[in-house]
């Protein structure tokens, strides 16, 4: 027992040190030629959720759909939570985008400005509404995610 107890204690200490390090970050996403998923979270000022969603669907979603039609994005999903959480953890909308690969997800789209001008010829209105959409945001963050489901 005197020999087993120190060995078990050593394993427990090693696990206690290693576990937080392993939990700090998800494993990297798949290889460069595989789909790459990012979740975009939006936390809106109280009372402005519908205004934000209306502006998002009018001025950003069509751009996302247009970019998707070029093949850069594989899918776009917009979600809202069914229930509320604490204010610290609250988010109002999550947009999950599966990109063709990590390269297109992490580089700017050289055609985006042209697409914006094509979709919204009235640039003054477009810019004003996009500014308003960001004015009513309380928070926004992007979270690349990795599917680690065993096969």
Which CATH number does the domain housing residue 115 bear? 3.30.70.100
Question: Does residue 106 lie within any of the structural domains?
Answer: yes
Q: Is the pLDDT of residue 77 over 70?
A: yes
- Cβ–Cβ < 8 Å for 72, 23: no
Contact 132, 55 (CB under 8 A): yes
On whether residue 113 sits in a domain, the answer given is yes
Query: Do the domain assignments include residue 39?
Result: yes
pLDDT at 21: 39
Residue 37 lies in a domain: yes
Structurally, the chain folds into a number of domains equal to: 1
Q: What percentage of the chain carries pLDDT values higher than 90?
A: 72
Q: pLDDT above 70 covers what percent of the chain?
A: 80
Which pLDDT score is estimated for 31?
72
Structure tokens at 85: 């959480």
pLDDT (mean) for 5-27: 45
What is the pLDDT, as a whole number, of residue 147? 87
Least confidently predicted of 18-22, 38-42, 123-127, 140-144: 18-22
Structure tokens at 145: 């995610």
pLDDT tens string 110-119: 999 999 999 9
For residue 144, the surrounding DSSP H or E stretch is strand 137-145
Is residue 131 one of the residues assigned to a domain? yes
Residue 2: pLDDT above 90?
no
Q: Given this model, what pLDDT does residue 139 score?
A: 96
Q: Which residues pair with 73 in a beta bridge?
A: 99
Q: Quote the tokens at residue 112.
A: 């985006």
Q: What is the mean pLDDT of the chain?
A: 86
Largest Cα–Cα separation, the chain: 80
Residue 141's domain comprises 30-145
E-strand spans in 6-133?
A: 36-44, 73-79, 93-99
Give, in order, the Cα–Cα distances in Å from 150 to each of 38, 80, 100, 104, 147. 20, 27, 22, 26, 9
Q: How confident is the model at residue 84 (pLDDT cuts 50, 70, 90)?
A: confident
Question: Among 70, 93, 91, which residue's Cα sits nearest to residue 80?
Answer: 93
Lowest-pLDDT range, 23-37, 72-86, 110-124? 23-37
CA distance 22 to 142: 21
CA distance 30 to 38: 13
């Amino acid at each position: 027992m005197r020999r087993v107890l120190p060995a078990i204690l050593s394993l427990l200490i090693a696990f206690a040190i290693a576990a937080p390090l392993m939990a700090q970050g998800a494993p990297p996403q798949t290889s460069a030629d595989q789909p790459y998923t990012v979740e975009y979270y939006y936390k809106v000022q109280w009372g402005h959720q519908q205004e934000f969603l209306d502006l998002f669907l009018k001025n950003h979603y069509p751009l996302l759909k247009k970019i998707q039609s070029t093949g850069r994005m594989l899918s776009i999903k917009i979600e809202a939570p069914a229930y509320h959480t604490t204010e610290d953890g609250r988010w109002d909308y999550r947009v999950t985008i599966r990109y063709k690969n990590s390269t297109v997800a992490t580089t700017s789209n050289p055609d985006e400005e042209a697409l914006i001008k094509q979709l919204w010829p009235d640039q003054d209105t477009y810019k004003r509404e996009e500014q308003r959409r960001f004015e009513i945001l309380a928070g926004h963050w992007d979270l690349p995610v990795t599917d680690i489901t065993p096969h």
